[in-house]
Amino acid sequence: MPAADPALHADVAAAAGPPDEAVGPLIRGVGVLRRLTEAGGTLGPSALERATGLARSTVDRITATLARMDYVRLDGRDVVLAPRVMELGNSYLAALRLPVLLGARADALADELDESVSLAVADLDGIRFIHQATRRRALSVSFRIGDLLPAERTGPGPLFATEWTERDWARWRDRRSADPHDTAFPALPPRQAPADAPSPPALSPSFPSLPSFPERVERAREDGWALDDQLIEPGLVAVSVPVRDPYTGRPVCVASVVSHTSRHSAADLRTSLLPRLRTAVAAMESDLRTAPAPEPGPPPSGLASWTTASKHQLGRDFVESLARGLTVLTAFGAGRPALPLTEVARATGLSRATARRALLTHEHLGLVAAGPDRTFTLTPRVLDLGFPPLSRATLARLAEPHLRALAQALHEPAALAVLTPDGTEIQYTAGAGTSRVLTVHITVGARLPAAATSLGRVLLADASPAFPEVRAQGYALADEELESGLRSIAVPVRDRTGRAVAAVCVATHTARRTLESCVHDVLPALRTTTDHLRADLHTASRFTPVPPV
């Protein structure tokens, strides 16, 4: 199926209004997730009430349900997106397969050119990023996986628009007329064009002599590539080439090299970087041609019974129809890109009627598209549900709420640390303290000798033959070796490959806890905390890198 078709089906469904069988709580819950995403991941209940137009009691029930699903956490007075919500976007990216098949090529090109490289797909009359290989500089590109941009202000946009029908062009003109300042695209600085600018307007108010978008589309059709010459904001330039389906010849995504004018002019992109980008795209198309069919991963299990149990426990505060509707999106994934109703029901454990109502609702919301063969597919709009704000999370950021909960439960300070590159020291990257008079003060960024700390020992045991006993038991104790009276216990945090990338410790005074108490009382809570952190890390890192700091 061509890349633009699912979005077109979804657009038609949304324009027709909600179907009679649409699930109202699901519509409202998706609206809450979208408003949280647009706000950067955090809003208070009152702000959510204003942003959604929902009653406060409705907002409270929705956020309680999302918290039960671990899609948000309630942090004081704020509602905060939690890493597990990324499983919805992960379902779309896994079903799409393009990040898995092409991401390594994009990363290699970024390393070769020392420039940022992105992959984007079409999303109605916009483009949405599905992979980013970003160079870490003081001045760098800050787009995230899942960010949506208007087609006319990008390099990929004209290339996708070469496939547009008259309906697509009409939709684009309607959107430009209704939103001339691009306020519907929170990832962008607002356009400064006057509200009564002609349609189609000039692409950049700062560069009024640039060709119109239809003219750029015709140029892209002739050249087979496109430029973004400071269309998003002054200084940002990009060159883009389509990656075409080996069987249909239509663009499945667009690869772009992104830089800024202090490093490359637009003309320089064309002469120095375009040839290498084309070579990389040819390799990507070869990968698509030779990729074996994916083995379907295990579908989710027990979702229907889990939502029923949650309803029994929480009563009216748990909106079961919302939870069940969102779990339908997780039925899709690797080897399951298009599913009939029967398969969706089987994967989730829901009845056919419940699954059907959820799919119809998602189709209305633009999250699911119905194909002519009676199957359903996810659309790029699933990435609207919390993915962008979390796609740049660090391990330290993921750990902070877990460390606070651990410190509060044990009334002892907790910390996260990583090994320095030479393996001789640990560096604290996150911590949570307590209100005790006698306590350990953790300074983020501070370094200590690895071999003298429980954090360092548990990390050294994983990376070398050192400390075999620590490796066998899975934890490390340090007893007054760094400072008199200081006792600590640590366990590793492992990534998706099983490698220990960090460690979490709890520190105490020798007068408060014996060594036996550390093992019998502290260690279980410590392991539970790292289990939760590991689950967040595995979800967040499936399609996005999660750096330690």
Asked whether residue 406 falls in the same domain as residue 434, the answer is yes
Among the three residues 368, 391, 414, which one is the final residue of a domain in this structure? 391
Please report whether residue 508 resides in a domain.
yes
Please report whether residue 12 resides in a domain.
no
Q: What is the Cα–Cα distance from 199 to 172, expressed in whole angstroms?
A: 10
Asked whether residue 60 falls in the same domain as residue 173, the answer is no
For residue range 383-402, list pLDDT tens digits in order. 999 999 999 999 999 999 99
The stretches of 69-165 forming alpha helices (DSSP H) are 86-96, 98-113, 156-161
Instruction: Strand 447-449: give its sheet, edge to edge.
Output: 447-449, 425-432, 414-419, 500-509, 486-494, 476-479
- Backbone region of residue 53 per phi and psi (left: phi > 0; alpha: psi in -120 to 50; beta: other values): left
What is the number of domains present in the chain?
Answer: 3
* pLDDT surpassing 80 at residue 333: yes
- Res 116: pLDDT: 93
Q: What is the Cα–Cα distance from 148 to 176, expressed in whole angstroms?
A: 15
For residue range 72-110, list pLDDT tens digits in order. 999 989 999 999 999 999 999 999 999 999 999 999 999
CATH code where residue 131 lies: 3.30.450.40
Please report whether residue 200 resides in a domain.
no
For residue range 222-258, list pLDDT tens digits in order. 999 999 999 988 888 999 999 999 999 999 999 999 9
Asked whether residue 514 falls in the same domain as residue 486, the answer is yes
Asked whether residue 465 falls in the same domain as residue 330, the answer is no
pTM beyond cutoff 0.85 = yes
Please report whether residue 205 resides in a domain.
no
Asked whether residue 446 falls in the same domain as residue 329, the answer is no
Among the three residues 237, 264, 290, which one is the final residue of a domain in this structure? 290
Asked whether residue 135 falls in the same domain as residue 252, the answer is yes
Q: Tell me: cis bond preceding 200? Omega within 30 of 0 counts.
A: yes
Please report whether residue 471 resides in a domain.
yes
Please report whether residue 93 resides in a domain.
no
CATH code where residue 29 lies: 1.10.10.10
- Res 549: pLDDT: 85
* pLDDT surpassing 60 at residue 3: no
Please report whether residue 429 resides in a domain.
yes
Q: Which domain holds residue 126?
A: 98-187+210-290
The pLDDT confidence band at residue 210, using thresholds 50, 70 and 90, is low
Q: What string of DSSP letters covers 58-92?
A: HHHHHHHHHHHTTSEEEETTEEEE-GGGHHHHHHH
Asked whether residue 454 falls in the same domain as residue 313, the answer is no
Which regions of 312-436 does DSSP assign to beta strands (E)? Answer: 338-340, 368-370, 375-378, 414-419, 425-432
Please report whether residue 172 resides in a domain.
yes
* pLDDT surpassing 70 at residue 5: no
Average pLDDT rounded to a whole number, residues 262-290: 94
Asked whether residue 362 falls in the same domain as residue 457, the answer is no
Asked whether residue 248 falls in the same domain as residue 362, the answer is no
Among the three residues 373, 391, 409, which one is the final residue of a domain in this structure? 391
Q: Which residue has the tokens 């066998």?
A: 472
Asked whether residue 340 falls in the same domain as residue 400, the answer is no
Asked whether residue 379 falls in the same domain as residue 230, the answer is no
Asked whether residue 275 falls in the same domain as residue 327, the answer is no
Q: Which stretch of 270-284, 298-312, 472-486 has the lowest confidence by average pLDDT?
A: 298-312
Average pLDDT rounded to a whole number, residues 103-120: 96
